Amino acid sequence: MATSVVLVHGAWGGAWIWRPVLPALRAAGHEVHAVTLTGDGERAHLRHAGITLQTHIRDVVGLVEAEELQDIALVGHSYGGQVITGAADALAGRVKQLVYVDAMVPLPGEGWGINHAPEVVAARQAAARANDNALPPPDPADFGLSGAERDWLLRRQVPHPFGPYREPMPFDFDRWRALPRAFIDCNSPAYPTIAGSRQRVREQGDWTLVELPTGHCPMASMPARFSAVLLELLRAG
């Protein structure tokens, strides 16, 4: 059964990062939309110090409303896990499935970075202060990428708005937990800042969990296998 799929990138990304998986998803009959969050990707010229998590949630809600989507699968990568959680809350009744791709999995009231080690928080805050409240992108080698895939991200990554980093996000936990949820754990190498989410998913115990032997950006490092996993999750959802 075809689904409306909304893909939400992580920090430093844009809709462009999903390009390797779009053909397979669309060939399977799904209506697929990739969002670029305000201040990222081709919308980097809109970056300003006042961007918040709610700005990014509204980006997703705005696309859903403009396209009049129903029966939606929200797919969030990395920081995009925060965004799809908030968007699902705002779009109650229209979302049928959530897929977290090596992504942040918050509890109500938590912000992006809540489970990061103190030294990571301090380093990111300092970097953002020095860069007009935007977080400079890391070397994609940190995601386990090399060669052409690393070069692709190096060319396209942009500083990510930092306002959402510690911003609390309330949402209806019971309604969120009633949705089918899947977590794709990319664990070779495992990106350290996702460690808290990996543990939380296993502790909650009511997730569909898929492990992929690749790094933090499977759409770049393992697009065929990653596409197959997404399609299987969409069929099951």
What b/e string do you get for 184-220 counting C-beta neighbours within 10 Å, with b at 16 or more?
A: bbbbeeebebbebbbebbeeeeebbebebebbbbbbb
Determine the Cα angle at 184 with ends 109 and 33, to 5°. Answer: 80
Per-residue pLDDT of the chain (237 residues; tens, 9 = 90+): 678 999 999 999 999 999 999 999 999 999 999 999 999 999 999 999 899 999 999 999 999 999 999 999 999 999 999 999 999 999 999 999 999 999 999 999 998 887 788 998 999 999 999 999 999 999 999 999 999 999 999 999 999 999 999 889 999 999 999 999 999 999 999 999 999 999 999 999 999 999 999 999 999 999 999 999 999 999 998
The catalytic residues are: 78
**Which amino acid, residue 215?**
G
Topology at the third CATH level for domain 4-236:
Rossmann fold (3.40.50)
Q: Where are the domains of the chain?
A: 4-236
